[in-house]
Amino acid sequence: MEQIKITNHTLSNVNWENAQICSFLMLGQIDVWRIEINANEKRLIQFTSIIENREFIIANQHLKTSDKNRYLLSRVALRLVLSKYLLKNPELFSFGNDLNNKPFLLSTNGDEIKFNISYAKDYILIAVSLTEVGVDAEYIDPIFDFNDILTDFFAIDEKNYIAETNSNKRFFTSWTKKEALAKAIGIGILGPINQFPILNGDTFVNSEILNTTNNWIIHSFYVTNTHVGSVARIANQQPIAFWDFDLNLFI
């Protein structure tokens, strides 16, 4: 059986750049966008005209106003960011979801662009690439009891790593790695996530288990000191740039 290589890497010094200097040119890199919800939520009302009715329906299914606004902000940010890369009006985009709920553009008139989105408590992350990409963000919840789910999602050496020290931080960082790769491959979080290695370094996995023939790299990083994130990409020489999103730039 064919083996694929999964490489885990921790980025210790991520520099979140000001969006004003972003060229919005897809030149082989991956761009990761950080959206602070509190800083951008007050401007949301100015951009609701670019959202589809279907997105409003989904937003209104949230019981809490904060959850509704977070969803709407994620859609606004996604549309505005993609409009810059594709030079198209943000209200013209239509999105679909695959069988594992991974979103994609229904039509870009020949433009090839991939993206993924995640949000956790105070932040939203969007990853944009020319190849398949997955991103996940998690809030490091200091009181979350994760012990009951360790066996279902983590191998023995991974459980030992999480238990060793800084357990909450290690758990949530490890979870973002697994979910980012699941989203990149497109097999969903209910797939064989316990087969996704999260310890730093190289690990070889049966390609049939993960339904992919590509080698993958997972980069984990801090979104802030209270949030962690990971981005998964096909193993190549793509650099990664990190950007701070600000709705004021689009007014």
Which structural domain range is residue 90 located in?
3-250
* Strand duo 95-97 + 103-105: pairing: antiparallel
CATH number of the structural domain spanning residue 16: 3.90.470.20
Q: HSE (CB half, 13 Å, CA atoms) of 25? A: 3
CB 241 within 8 A of CB 17: yes
- Name the domain count of the chain: 1
Least trusted range by pLDDT, from 40-49, 110-119, 157-166, 215-224: 110-119
Span 182-235, pLDDT tens digits: 999 988 666 677 788 999 999 998 888 888 999 999 999 999 999 999 999 999
Predicted model pTM = 0.94
Confidence grade of residue 102 (pLDDT, cut at 50, 70, 90): confident
Q: Considering only CA atoms, which of 7, 6, 9, 14 is closest in space to residue 244?
A: 14
Percent of the chain topping pLDDT 70: 96
Q: What average pLDDT does this structure show over 61-87?
A: 94
Span 146-166, pLDDT tens digits: 998 898 899 999 999 999 999
Give the residue ranges of DSSP H helices in the chain: 37-41, 53-60, 65-86, 147-153, 156-164, 167-185, 207-210
